[in-house]
A and B are shown apart, each in its own frame.
Chain A
């Protein structure tokens, strides 16, 4: 029920902000480049540009929802939280001698009981988010709450909470829980941020935050560099020689569908759980991707370019250096982006299994102590770094391969 409500709210925000942006933009000046002048956009993928406003609003909405459900102070509105404050219910008890007696119970849920509580038969304090047994006077046996009969195992709704009777016949009060998440399930944004600052300052599990992240990054870079160093020449050889192609095709095609995660146990058995094992794993993760990219780069070279180079007097080596290599760069870059993504995902998984430091180690260690804020912080950092790597690769690609997609 709650899930459905959240989905509806989310859909409403999605459609509502689209409408609002449309109204805002109506008055603004139109752009007149080719894409905005196209009349056929539905079905023309090239005419679809991501709406940056939608991206910004999407991120904002994610944060708003996160804050609203965690009672964040950064967000002006919240879903109802657990009831905090003063409430009361009436009860009737029958004493051992059969005498019926009524009374009221005053409950302070999640708040301090004042030094001089107003007059009531029973005063109880209920900690936030917990159930609390209510001790009734004279050890009497309750049989109704707010005028509704109750017996062992039954529950009665009262103002701001529920009263239930335990099998032994004692009353127990639970305040309304509301929709907000307990920090142990989902900490608020500011809790995660302050945890981030704290760990950035003083570290976690014997290492600073930068040592943890740096360790993961170094493993990725080392594994990727080795994979590229072996994979690219191997891919070229497979693209240039039938013997190489025949020899390595079965190996590459066999290894390609095996996910690197499936290799973790074997790599641990062979190389141990420390650095060398991880670098070997990432090497294997990058190797096949880079091999296949380089091979595709060579087979993608237009035969007339090769013929032209030879007719201009190029040697085989010169052909490789001046034609095949630059011609394969776009493919290599595409492969490198895929390989980096795979490596980054694999290193985190490998660190979950065993490591002294690293982004994955941080979150698995924190999860053992139910430090959900650290887990969340780790996940966010992993995502941000992975995205950052991809952005850097795209920038490098635009600088180094300006002719991509131009001919």
Chain B
């Protein structure tokens, strides 16, 4: 029993006015170790809710979730999270942020030092080890967040729009970095994104979710992530296959958004 397993996960938020939101309904998913899953879907379809459940921040109202056969009960070092922003500790410098996990586990500097320094080098921040967090740009901060997550050596890495706040160019560079790190480390990754391109480039598997109730709408197996390792991602984007998939998924999500807007328009 290895890997991440979600069985009929449901999440229902009761609202103060007596009604409720069915954020997720019967979401089932099995992720083998080392897989990278991209999650796409219109706004409000329950992507963040799903991720929060896997991370252990929320308990689902129905269903079971387990990692390597162990039920998930709360946040844990085996499931690392990279947030969109605001999760770094401003009162620590770059190195102390990256070494946070090992230090909390009681490791000494001699033990974690080489690994932490290597990770900081890998994300290209060798000259910024001693810098304060607020002295870094947004893209640099996200690289610190990534390195911090990796330094803890989790089995699963969960990312909720980790590159969402970055400019296009930085974002492209970071996509290549994520892809290479994923291949190097062989981690299981769940990546939530709003960018169809990013989902296609990075995801071995891709699920598209639909709202009301939040559920898995369509699932794909994709070749692009394997092709992209060590290559210029812009070449991948030019492939005819890639463009076709992108158009297909874009129009699917477009239609879903239309539907939501339409039904809201009709209700109003």
- Roughly how many angstroms separate A302 CA and B75 CA in the complex, as a whole number? 16
Chain B residue at minimum C-beta to C-beta distance from A405: B134
Q: Is A327 part of the contact surface with B, judged by Cβ < 8 Å?
A: yes
The range of chain B's interface size is 20 to 34
Which of A132-140, A285-293, A314-322 lies on the face that meets chain B?
Answer: A314-322
Residues of B within 8 Å of A311, CB to CB, are: 55-56, 75-77, 79-81, 154
- A315 to B76, Cβ gap below 8 A? no
Inter-subunit contact A403/B77 (CB<8 Å) = no
User: Residue A307 contacts which of B81, B148, B152 (CB distance < 8 angstroms)?
Assistant: B81
Given contacts A312-B101, A313-B104, A313-B152, contact A307 B90 (CB under 8 A): no
Chain A contacts for B55, CB-based, 8 A:
307, 311
Q: Is A310 an interface residue (CB 8 A)?
A: yes
Interface of B is mostly: loop
- Asked if B18 is an interface residue, CB under 8 A from chain A, the answer is no
Select from chain A the residue with minimum beta-carbon distance to B55.
A311
A315-B106 Cα distance, complex, nearest whole Å: 11
Count, chain A residues at interface, CB 8 A? 23
Q: Which chain A positions have C-beta within 8 A of B88?
A: 305, 308
Q: How far apart are B118's CB and chain A's nearest CB, in angstroms?
A: 18
Which of A307, A315, A402, A407 is in CB contact (< 8 Å) with B57? A307
- Interface class of chain A by DSSP: helix
Q: Provided the pairs A307-B75, A403-B90 are in contact, do residues A312 and B100 lie with their beta carbons within 8 angstroms?
A: yes
- Chain A 294-311, CB within 8 Å of chain B: the 1/0 string? 000000001011011111
Q: Is B133 an interface residue when CB atoms closer than 8 A count as contact?
A: yes
User: Which residues of chain A have a CB within 8 Å of any CB of chain B?
Assistant: 302, 304-305, 307-315, 318, 322-323, 326-327, 329, 401-403, 406-407
- A304-B86, A403-B91 are contacts. A312–B148 as well, Cβ < 8 Å? yes
CB distance from A398 to the nearest CB of B (A): 14
Return the contact of B91 from the options A309, A315, A318, A326 (Cβ within 8 A): A326
| Contact between A313 and B105, CB atoms less than 8 A apart | yes
Contact (A302, B104) CB under 8 Å given A312-B77, A326-B91, A407-B133: no
CA distance A212 to B236 in the complex (A): 80
Bound Cα distance from A305 to B80, whole angstroms: 13
Shortest Cβ distance from A404 into B: residue: B90
Asked whether, in the complex, the Cβ of A308 is within 8 Å of the Cβ of B105, the reply is: no
A367: min CB distance to chain B, Å: 49
> What's the least CB distance linking B96 to chain A, in Å?
9
